[in-house]
Structure 1
Amino acid sequence: MSLLYLARPRITFYTRCLRTFTTATLLRTEASTNNLILSRLKDDLKSAMRAKDKPRLNVLRAILAEITNASKTPKPIESDTSLLSLLQKQITASQKAIEEFESAKRQDLVDKEREQVEILQGYEKEIPKLSDEDFNGILEQIKKELEGKEAKFGQAMKALVEKIAGRPVDMGYVTRKIKEAFPSGK
């Protein structure tokens, strides 16, 4: 062996990682009073893994995947208010799937979807919503404000949404109540 080969300095290259990733900011934030359920989802995922609870694990993974996907959009899910709308969408989608599976006579899939709906409704019920008394008070205020004018559904809905902005509320319930209060045209 040659002495030149042994004496040659070894060339090493130091490169930094060019590919980086970020996780959803909400998964790293501390629990606040505004997002109690949101911060608990990750812990529930871990406990479902330990308990080998497949249905709950699948539901939690789906919810966290939706949250991560939403974090890459202009409207990320950062609070329980936005989580409520996500849960309601998933419940509605599961209920439609149940109807389709029943018409196709797939009882195994019906049972699976019903279990998923129960889990989602459990999280939905834990999110504190605007009470009926508070909502009715706000609705009465809007009725008084729009009393002299020819009140229409759209005007009432716009005024109500401005007043309840940032508070978790079932929009289906809101729409029904406004239709009852303002039966005149849309």
Structure 2
Amino acid sequence: MGLKERLQEDLKAAMRAGDEPRKTAIRMALLAIRMAEVEAARPLSEDEILRVLQNEVKRRRETLEELERANRPDRLMAERAELEALLAYLPQPLTREEIEAMAREVIAEIGATSPAQLGEVMKRLMPRVRGRADGREVQEIVRRLLTEAAS
């Protein structure tokens, strides 16, 4: 069963269970997937659906930050519950140690020795971690490793 089908089945289950935050989160995710399919004028691949879900999770996290800054505890709980519902569909994120190990591997593969080669390392590393690590965190780790290698 694909990710989209799983979302559709889980939406039915959430509706039967009366789980409002989960139902809302899944509905919004399915809507985002449909909009992306209309824009692409074709059904999305599993990787593309995963990217749409990651964008939805990112949007929820940004909304949580804004709600915390605006001191809106009434909306915070619902938004957190929706975020948790969506996180269940994403692959297990990599730990910093796993990212660092993969980065060291790529750096060794291409023989990178200075921060000037950051782009080259990122180009090779990102396809390996896509969907399981934040690009900013990966870049920070790679930059640190390359700076250490240069000194």
Identity of aligned residues (%): 29
Aligned residues: 146
Within 5 A, what are the aligned runs for 1:79-90? 79=46, 81-90=47-56
Task: Give me the CA root mean square deviation.
Answer: 3.3
User: Which structure has more RCO (C-alpha within 8 Å, separation ≥ 6)?
Assistant: 2
Question: Is residue 180 of structure 1 aligned with residue 147 of structure 2?
Answer: no
1:169 to 112, 117, 132: 132
Task: Note the residue ranges of structure 1 that are not aligned, 5 or more in a row.
Answer: 1-30
1:72 partner SS: helix
Task: Give the TM-score of the pair, scaled to structure 2.
Answer: 0.73
Moved more, 105-114 or 61-70: 105-114
Task: Give the TM-score of the pair, scaled to structure 1.
Answer: 0.62
Q: Which has the larger radius of gyration?
A: 1
Contact 2:102 2:125 in 1 (8 A): no
Within 5 A, what are the aligned runs for 1:62-77? 62-74=28-40, 77=44
* Runs of 4+ more than 6 Å apart: 129-132
Q: How far is 1:138 from its partner?
A: 6.5
CA distance in 2, matches of 1:43, 1:87: 16
2:78 partner SS: helix
The structure carrying a bigger helix percent of its residues is 2
1:158 corresponds to which residue? 123
Contact 1:101 1:107 in 2 (8 A): yes
